[in-house]
């Protein structure tokens, strides 16, 4: 469904984008907890299981968040009117473009002397996003979290995915934090999301 900037659909989509980013952030923090535990206390099956789950959730929510951003950029809740392979190419192109934009932004700010003190050496950012990044991002999102796929157990190494692509995912996650991260002490009103309750209310007669 097509919509206009600022209309009710756009407002609702912004609530959902905030929700998806918070879920992504929660997953990343949980992953960091178990990753640190693994480093400090050693690896065991349960810690690996919990770190795996948290990172798989992080991948899932980050991917879904950027699909939502694509829908908002196109002002169309269908993300794109294209189908099949053409739709996939549009989504993967969008993700690759954003990852490259972020890298280029850090690289350029280092060159102009305006980069924050905490950034890495320019060589960390002055790279081209790998051709298969968006495709692998989609595949891992589908099979390590989204679907019950047999490949998860024997053919898809989340460790290899992490080593190859984590820096790109982390930069995309950090880039979105400025606009979509939690601001202030009070938790935002996300309508039905933050109105959820398991408490039974007496019906008014």
Is residue 196 in some structural domain?
A: no
Q: What is the pTM of this model?
A: 0.92
- Segments forming the whole domain that contains residue 95: 8-180
Calpha distance 147→131 (Å, rounded): 24
CB-neighbour burial class of residue 74 (10 A; exposed 0-12, middle 13-18, buried 19+):
middle
Is residue 29 in some structural domain?
A: yes
The 10s digit of each residue's pLDDT in 102-144 is 999 999 999 999 998 999 999 999 999 999 999 999 999 999 9
Is residue 1 in some structural domain?
A: no
Q: Which two tokens stand for residue 187?
A: 């938790």
Is residue 166 in some structural domain?
A: yes
The pLDDT of residue 204 is 55
Per-residue DSSP letters for 6-58?
Answer: TSHHHHHHHHHHHHHHHHHHHHHHHHHHHHHHHHHH---HHHHHHHHHHHHHH
Residues 58/34, Cβ–Cβ less than 8 Å: no
Is residue 185 in some structural domain?
A: no
Residues 165/134, Cβ–Cβ less than 8 Å: no
Is residue 24 in some structural domain?
A: yes
Is residue 75 in some structural domain?
A: yes
Is residue 100 in some structural domain?
A: yes
Confidence at 203, pLDDT banded by 50, 70, 90: low
């Amino acid at each position: 469904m097509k919509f206009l900037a600022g209309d009710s659909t756009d407002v609702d989509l912004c609530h959902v984008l905030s929700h998806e980013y918070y879920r992504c952030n929660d997953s990343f923090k949980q992953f960091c907890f178990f990753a640190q535990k693994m480093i400090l206390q050693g690896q065991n099956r349960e810690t690996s299981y919990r770190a795996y789950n948290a990172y798989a959730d992080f991948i899932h929510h980050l991917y879904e968040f950027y699909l939502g951003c694509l829908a908002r950029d196109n002002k169309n809740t269908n993300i794109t009117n294209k189908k099949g392979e053409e739709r996939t190419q549009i989504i993967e192109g969008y993700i690759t473009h954003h990852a490259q934009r972020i890298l280029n932004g850090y690289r350029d700010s280092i060159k102009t002397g305006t980069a924050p003190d905490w950034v890495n050496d320019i060589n960390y950012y002055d790279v081209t996003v790998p051709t298969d990044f968006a495709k692998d991002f989609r595949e891992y999102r589908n099979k390590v979290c989204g679907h019950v796929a047999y490949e998860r157990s024997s053919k898809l190494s989340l460790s290899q995915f992490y080593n190859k692509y984590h820096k790109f995912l982390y930069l995309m996650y950090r880039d979105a934090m400025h606009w979509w991260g939690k601001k202030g002490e009070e938790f935002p009103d996300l309508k039905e999301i933050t109105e959820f309750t398991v408490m039974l209310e007496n019906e008014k007669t």
